[in-house]
């Protein structure tokens, strides 16, 4: 059974996106920050794979640093252990704040979580789509997306990377870019299998 994993920092809108993708309106989102969450599995209408919602990583108010590290280790182990069955990884980020957060956490001995996760997935050979969420709040769209590409090591302009960078608004149900990007990767893999 193949799966698409969703990863992202807390509060980027991962639960909202998951709900929109799967149409499961009633699934509980583990709303309390830091509450241990097992991977959640959901079917995508009509297709023979599932979405796996992994716990949010990074800063969560009221959650100890040690616990945050444990959560990240769990995520990494889940992905490594299931890499062969993972069709794609969706890294969900908040379009409004992601570049600032990356810049704040970039340094000689610090790699921002989002950048680390992006490269981690790619190194395992898992195609990554960065779902840049909350685009309804972003005014300077092209500039923001170009900056994000730059931080991820993708040469701008972002429009060249439409299979990797997918600007969306989960809350408004505007997911076209993500669905299209995912479709490209599925088709590529099917071709590879022939
Ligand atoms: P999670 O912690 O990543 O699962 O985030 P949630 O899905 O709980 O969303 C966190 C907050 O962001 C909530 O207040 C959502 O309503 C809001 N949110 C989610 N998606 C969007 C979006 O596309 N646009 C805007 N403006 N807010 C969003």
Torsion over CA: 120, 5, 61, 148 (sign): positive
Interatomic CA distance for residues 107 and 133, integer angstroms: 25
Q: Which structure tokens are listed for 194?
A: 């022939």
Q: Is the CB of 137 under 6 A from ligand 1?
A: yes
Q: Is the CB of 2 under 6 A from ligand 1?
A: no
CA–centroid distance, 186 to ligand 1, in Å, is 27
Looking at per-residue confidence, does 39 or 84 come out higher?
Answer: 84
The domain ranges of the chain are 2-193
pLDDT of residue 155: 97
Q: Is the CB of 185 under 6 A from ligand 1?
A: no
Q: Is the CB of 174 under 6 A from ligand 1?
A: no
**CATH among 3.40.50.1580, 3.30.300.130, 3.90.950.20, 3.40.50.300 for 2-193:** 3.40.50.300
Decide if pLDDT at 47 tops 50: yes
Q: Is the CB of 170 under 6 A from ligand 1?
A: yes
CB 67 within 8 Å of CB 109:
no
Interatomic CA distance for residues 94 and 133, integer angstroms: 5
Least confident of 32-36, 162-166, 169-173: 32-36
Q: Which structure tokens are listed for 189?
A: 């893999």
Average pLDDT, integer, range 149-172: 97
Taking CA atoms only, the protein residue closest to ligand 1 atom 26 is 134
Decide if pLDDT at 46 tops 60: no
Average pLDDT, integer, range 162-174: 97
With a pLDDT cut of 90, the percent of the chain lying above it is 63
Alpha-carbon distances of 90 from 61, 104, 107, rounded to whole Å? 24, 23, 25
């Amino acid at each position: 059974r193949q799966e698409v994993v969703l990863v992202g920092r807390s509060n980027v809108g991962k639960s909202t996106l998951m709900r929109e993708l799967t149409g499961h309106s009633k699934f509980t989102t583990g709303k309390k920050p830091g509450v241990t969450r097992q991977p959640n599995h959901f079917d995508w209408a009509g297709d023979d794979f599932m979405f796996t919602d992994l716990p949010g990583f990074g800063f969560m108010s009221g959650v100890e640093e040690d616990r945050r590290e444990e959560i990240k280790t769990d995520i990494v182990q889940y992905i490594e252990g299931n890499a062969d069955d993972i069709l794609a990884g969706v890294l969900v980020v908040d379009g409004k704040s992601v570049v600032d957060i990356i810049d704040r956490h970039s340094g000689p001995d610090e790699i921002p979580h989002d950048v680390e996760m992006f490269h981690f997935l790619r190194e395992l050979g898992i195609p990554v789509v960065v779902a840049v969420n909350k685009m309804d709040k972003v005014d300077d769209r092209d500039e923001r997306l170009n900056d994000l590409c730059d931080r991820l090591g993708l040469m701008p302009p972002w429009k060249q990377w439409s299979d990797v960078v997918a600007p969306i608004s989960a809350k408004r149900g505007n997911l076209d870019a993500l669905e299209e990007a995912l479709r490209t990767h599925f088709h590529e893999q099917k071709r590879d299998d022939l």
